Homo-oligomer: A and B are copies of this chain.
Amino acid sequence: MFEEIRRPTLVVDTGKVRENVLRMKGRADRNGTAFRPHLKTHQSRVIGRLFRDLGVRTGTVSSVEMAKLFADDGWDDLTIAFPANLREIGEMDELAGRIRLGLLADNPETIRALAAGLSRPVDLWIKIDVGSRRCGIRAEDREGLRAVSEAVRAAPRLRLAGVLTHDSRTYGVRGREAVAALFREGRDALLAAKAFLASEGWPDLRASFGDTPSMSLVEDWSGLDEVRPGNFAYYDLQQYVAGSCSPGDIAAAVACPVVGVYPDRGEAVVYGGAVHLSKQSQTLPEGGTSYGAVFEVRDGRWTGFREGAGVRTVTQEHGIVRMGPEDLASTRIGDLVFLCPVHSCLAADLLRPNTVYL
């Protein structure tokens, strides 16, 4: 059934995506939390429509380009969950004229530039840093929170929507307890920032939280008004190692043609390297580093990982794949190997021109 695949190709099992979305949306509904999934994992109108068919109407993106991609396909309520890039203020203003647009800022300078440059109203979210030290005002920085919120007060076209965070620390730990502990710490910091702003005269702000490990492993989202996980649509090796999913939940594979078989090294070489899988690696619980797992495939569907197999390293177009002797003996040049990417967001970005949907 994969005869038409000639080059490294992202193969997406839409049945699995559907199950992943229903599970996550069900949890959001049970918690009474608004669901605004991140669409950057797939950047795909096909998958975006699948979300909409399941009743999802609000989304998150991470660039103005991505907001345009989805706005042009019928999405009319999007948050760009990346600090507002002032060099794209014209594009943001154009978008604000046709959809409900949310923007992020963490400093008065950006707020003032948006106030001066936008001709249309937007939702403004204050980005909070709850520990990952990427962007945002530290949750405990009251002076910072006050300065930003006051700058918003002086900007009539900016509607202060709430406080928003993404705690990337959960991607670096393993298992439900470790993730849950970070989740509670991050959520509580976010809610403290919200409470402080309420005391400053902003009583109706919302608290928006997002990350796939927390949302996959923690059932109780008390206190949160909105969640924005993204990776869960596809999952990947990183999420499997973190404990967020089982191999059977992973909805995206990279199909790679075999171009070399080296039984003396216990390796095959595939057409599929850093420009297809990305250069992201994963430390494995059993030791060592992997650039991807190898799926077991039956009747055109991947069912789990092949034991003792994995991508040892990648160069620009080459993937060096370890395999057991039996696997290797049955592998022919020209066969397809289905790899599980370490980070599906990056593989999906790289393979956007070469994607097929099952």
Chain A residues with a Cβ under 8 A of chain B: 5-7, 40, 62-65, 82-88, 91, 106-107, 109-110, 113, 133-135, 168, 257, 259-261, 265, 267, 269, 271, 274-275, 278-280, 315-318, 320, 332-334, 343, 345-346, 349-350
Contact = CB atoms under 8 A, between A and B. Distances in A.
A280 B291 CA distance: 12
A267 B261 CA distance: 46
Contacts of A5: 87
Contacts of A279: 278-280, 343, 346
B275 A88 contact: no
Given A62-B317, A82-B271, A86-B334, 17 more contacts: A7-B88, A63-B271, A82-B259, A82-B318, A85-B259, A85-B271, A86-B259, A86-B333, A107-B333, A109-B332, A110-B333, A133-B265, A134-B269, A135-B260, A168-B315, A274-B346, A278-B278
Given A260-B135, A280-B279, A85 B274 contact: no
Contact of A333 (B109, B269, B274, B346): B109
Contacts of A133: 265, 267, 320
Contacts of A333: 86, 107, 109-110, 113
Contacts of A350: 350
B269 A87 contact: no
B271 A107 contact: no
A7 B278 contact: no
Most chain B CB atoms below 10 A, which of A40, A87, A133: A87
A316 B6 contact: no
A63 B107 CA distance: 46
A71 B269 CA distance: 27
A269 B129 CA distance: 13
A315 B134 contact: yes
A6 B65 CA distance: 11
A269 B318 contact: no
B269 A274 contact: no
A271 B80 CA distance: 13
A84 B6 CA distance: 12
26 contacts: A5-B87, A6-B87, A6-B91, A7-B63, A7-B64, A62-B316, A63-B317, A82-B317, A82-B318, A83-B260, A83-B269, A84-B259, A87-B334, A109-B332, A109-B333, A110-B333, A113-B334, A133-B265, A133-B267, A134-B315, A134-B318, A134-B320, A275-B349, A278-B278, A279-B343, A316-B349
Contacts of A62: 316-317
Nearest to A280: B279
Nearest to A86: B334
Contacts of A346: 274-275, 279, 316
